[in-house]
Structure 1
Amino acid sequence: MAATTTAEQPARTASAGPPGALAPFPLDHAPEVATALDRLRIAPLVPSTLSGLPGRNDNWSGLTEDGRAVFVKRLAQPGAQDRFDRALAFERARSAAGTLSWRAPRFLGGDRENGVLVHERLDGPVTAAALADEGRHTPDLARRTGRAVAELHSLPYAEATSGATSRATTEVTSGSGGGSQAGGGTAAGEGGRNRVGSSAPPHPATTALSLDTYLRGSGAELEAWALLQQDRRVVAALTGLAEAAAAAPRLPGHGDLRLDQLLLIGDELYLTDWEEFRPADPARDLGGYLGQWLHRAATRMFSELDPDTSADPAEAHEAIVRNGERQLAAVRPRISAFWQGYHAARPEAADDPGLARRATALAGWHLYDRLFAAATFGHRLTAAQRGCAGVGRNALLRPADFASVIGLVAE
C-alpha cells in the first residue's frame, strides 16, 4: 500500500513525550505498520503510549501490547525500498564486525514491502546536537566520535551485500545492531522539500531549475538558487569536488552524518539512522560532521553581534571578522579532536592525501545545504543567511587553506 501523501496527512501537534516529540501520526492512516508487526511476530502498538518525532519518515515510539518498548519507522516514498535495503546492509555489516567502541539501537526486524523498520527504543538518549546547544559537547566526545566514524569506515561491507532480501526480515542481530534513531528522529528542517544533499554535490539545479522546482519554490529558495547558479567559481568547485570524490577510495559510510544522529545514554555512544549507508568517499561523513560545527560557528558569527556597530559598515565588518574568529576558536578544539580521533583509529587515512581538502570542501557545501533548508519557508534570504553561505563559499574555494583554519591536521 502506498504511503499517505503529504497533502493527505493530518496535522500533528506537540506530545507529552520526550522533548521535541509530536503526537504520533495516526495508525489508521498507516495500516502498513500493523501488517509489518504481524509479519514480524511483534505485538501491536498501544496507541495511548505513542509519541512521534519530526522528520520526513512517519515514526512511532512507545510500547507494544506485551510491554516491549519499540521505535517504528515507516520510510517515506519515493525510494523507500532502496533505503530499506541500505539500512539492512548496515545491520549485516555491523553484525559481522565484532566489538566496536560505539553501539546502535537493536534491530528487531523490518518489512521491505511496506518500508517498515522496527528497533528497540532507547530510553533517555541525549543527542550530540543538544549537548552542543547547551555547551556540554566536549572535545573528548568529539574524539570518541572520530574513532567511531573510523570504525564505521572499516566495517566489512562485503558481508552487508550478501544474501537475498526477503519480504519480511527478522532479527539479524542479538544485541547491538542498529539503524534508526530509536528514541530520536530526523530533525525538523533536515528533510526539507528541496534539500540539496549536503554530502553529494553537485546537484543538477546548480545550472538550471526544473519548472516544478521553480513553481514550488519559496521566494527565498529562488534567491538561494540564483546565488548559487550565478557563482561560476562555486559551480566549478562543486564539479571538481564531485570528480575528486569519484576518484577517492570507497568505504562503508553513514551517508547523512549529523550531530542529531549521535546519541549518548550515560557514557555509551550510539550512531543512528542508516538508510543512506553505502560505499562512498570517506570525506562524505567527515565533511557532514565538520559542516555541523562550521554552520554553528557561522550562524553565531552573524547573530551574536553588537547592534550598535550596525550603523557603520566598516565597524560592522570588523565586528563580524572579530566575532568570526571567536566562534571558530570555540569550535576548533572539537573539530581537531574529532580529526585526531579518526586518524588514530584509522591510520591508513594518511595514505589519502586529499582527504582533508575534500572533507573541508564538503563542510563548506553543508552551509549551502543549510541555506536551502532554511529558505524553504522564507520570502527573502536574510543577511545572516547570505553571510553563512559566504563562509561555506570560502571553504569550497580554498579548502586547503580553510582546513588549517578549522583545525584539521595539515596533510
Structure 2
Amino acid sequence: MKKDVIAMLLAGGVGSRLNVLVRKRAKPAIPFGAIYRIIDFTMSNIANSNIDVVGVLTQYKPLSLMEHIDGGQSWDLFGRTRLVEILPPKTGEEISDWYKGTSDAIFQNIGFVEDYSPELVLVVSGDHIYAMNYHEVIAFHRDRKADATICLIRVPHEDVHHFGIAETDDQGRITNWVEKPKIARSNLASMGIYVFNRNPLTKTLTEAAKKSGTDFAKDVIPRMLQKKRVYGFVYNGYWRDVGTIHSYWRTNMDMLREDSGLRVKDWGIKTNQSTKGEVGDRSSTYISGKARIKNSLIARGCMIEGEVTNSVLSPGVRVARGARVTDSIVFHDSSIDTHALIQYSIVDKQVVIGDSARIGIGDPAPNKTFPNHLSSGITVIGKLAKIAPGITIGKNCVINPDVRLTSTKHKEIPSGSTI
C-alpha cells in the first residue's frame, strides 16, 4: 500500500525532569488539561492533517500509552487504509536493540517506512502542546525543493541552551546549526518536527548508524547540512515543551486563560476517554450549593463540596466540604478530604489527602534531591500516595508513588523534601 506521506511519532523518551509523573508511565501518556494526554495533541494534528499511516515508536513504560492509543479509533486512524501501528524496540534480534536515540528509533524501523514507499516522512514528537496543519510544512518543503525541513520557533535568547538552534538565509535555507548552545546568534529553535524526502532520510540514517550516530539533532541534521538542501519552516503559533514540572504546570494553567493562545476546542483535539476496567461514561459532576469554584476546569464525575480556584481537575476528583484547592492540578479519582488545603501542587491519580492536611505550605526552598526539577515552589504527589489527616507538606516536595504518610512519623514535612 503506497502512501505519499507517513508519520513517525517518537513517544519513547523517559522525560526524567518530570520526576514522579513519569515513574509509572511514559511522558506522552501524562494527563493534561483534565481529560487529555500529552500525546493527544500530536495524534490529533496528524489526523487533522489527513495523514493516515502513523508509526508510534514506544520504549519507556509503554503500557498505559499503548492502551490509550489502542487501535487509533479515537482519532479515526483505523481501517483498511488508515492505521496506527505501535513500534516497540525489536529486542532479541541480532540487528536490533533498545532504541538508543531519536534517529536510531527511525533507523530500526526503516522496514516499516519502506512498506509504504512514501515520498515524504514526517517525524514528530509526542510530548509537545500545539496545533499545526502539517500540510503547510509539507507545501513549504515541496516549494523549496528541500531534502529536509525543520520546524522552527522563536524562543527567548536565555532559553537557547535547551534547543537545537538554526540560522537561515532569506529563503529559509538553514546555513548553520548548533545543538543546545550556551550562547547563539539566532533564537530559532527546533520544535522536533521534521519533513524528510524518504531516500535522503534512509541513506543518512544508515550513514549515521555506521558511525554510532543515534540522534537527529546531533548526528543526522549536521550530516544532511553538508550535502543536502535543509530548510527551516518558522512557526508563529502556540507551542509549548512540557518537559519540566514548572512548564507542565504553567501550560495546564494556560487552559484557564483566554488570552494564552491555548484553544483546545478550536484545535479539534481528540482523546480516548475510556478507562481500563470501567464500563460506560463518567457520571455528571456534582457541585454542592456551598461549593465555591473560580476560574477552574473540572471534568466529569467530580464531586465538589469545597473550594476550587485556578485549578485543573481530572475525572472523578472529590473535594470535600471545607477543603480548598488553589493553583493546582489534580489527576483522576483523587480525594481531597474535609478541610484539607492544596496549593501550587500537582497531585497524581488515586491519591488521598486526609482531613485537614496541608500541601504546598512554607518557604520555597529548592528540592534537596532534585534541585533542577523542583525550585519554583510546586509540590508533586505521586500516584496512589496516601497522606494521613493533619500532615503538613512544604513547597518543592516530592512524595513518591504508593507512599503512605502517617501522622505519627511525618507530622510536618519541610520544603524541599523527598519522601
- State the TM-score, normalized to the length of structure 1: 0.26
Structure 1 or 2: more strand by fraction = 2
> Comparing both chains, which one has the higher relative contact order based on Cα–Cα distances under 8 Å and sequence gaps of 6 or more?
1
